[in-house]
Amino acid sequence: MNGSFRLKNLLLIACTAFVLTACSSKKDEEYNKPAIYWYNKMLKQIASSDLDAADDTYTSLESEHRNTPFVPTAMLILVNAHIDEEEYALANFYLDEYIKRFSLSKDIDYARYLKIKANFLGFKYQFRDQQLIEDTLTQINEFKVKYKNSPYMPLVDTINSRLYMAKASMDKEIAELYIRRDKELGSAFYDQKVKNSWVEPTEIVPVDVPYYRAIFE
């Protein structure tokens, strides 16, 4: 008798816990909210440095209100937040989507500047990011042609100069490597590339690479 009573009590407790959990899940699940609700919630999450939650909230905003003007603004805010956290891949994900969807936006030059900035800041390995440098220099050249009057041009010019210096530094190191291996033709080829990349090779400052990483460069 007592065993049966205890079993019934355990089943009642288990059922109650299940119902409460289900109700709690439904309470936590949010949907069908106004665009301004999702937008403000995302801003609060970014302010509290919870970017994972902010990404999820943006997904809700974009899913429920795809054509709201809050979407492009939210994307650029998330881009800057991810750049600040050095999450350049995520920043580029939003930028690629923004450029694809809002190519006629008045802020398209800003988005393309941020793309250049994210690539530049993502350049971390002196001798392993050659393609990233080349791709970013191509983007800079396109920016200069398309957005000649952009207020972001001075910033793009600064990045351009620093990337050319990095490229020249890379070519200079390769030229010296060929010298050490007694390959004069290869050294001369990269020396010429240095001169083409930078007016005065003696101005090139070597990249300061930590010793523990330099051995792998």
What token pair was written down for 30? 């949010």
- Quote the CA–CA distance of 91 and 87 in Å, as a whole number: 6
Q: Which residues of the chain have pLDDT under 70?
A: 1-28, 125-128, 174, 176, 182-217
Beta strand extents in the chain (DSSP E only):
none
Predicted local distance difference test score (pLDDT) of residue 191: 64
Predicted local distance difference test score (pLDDT) of residue 38: 97
Say if residue 47 is exposed, middle or buried (CB neighbours under 10 Å; 0-12, 13-18, 19+): exposed
pLDDT digits (tens, 9 = 90+) for 64-89: 999 999 999 999 999 999 999 999 99
Q: How far apart are the first and last CA of the chain?
A: 77
- Quote the CA–CA distance of 130 and 38 in Å, as a whole number: 40
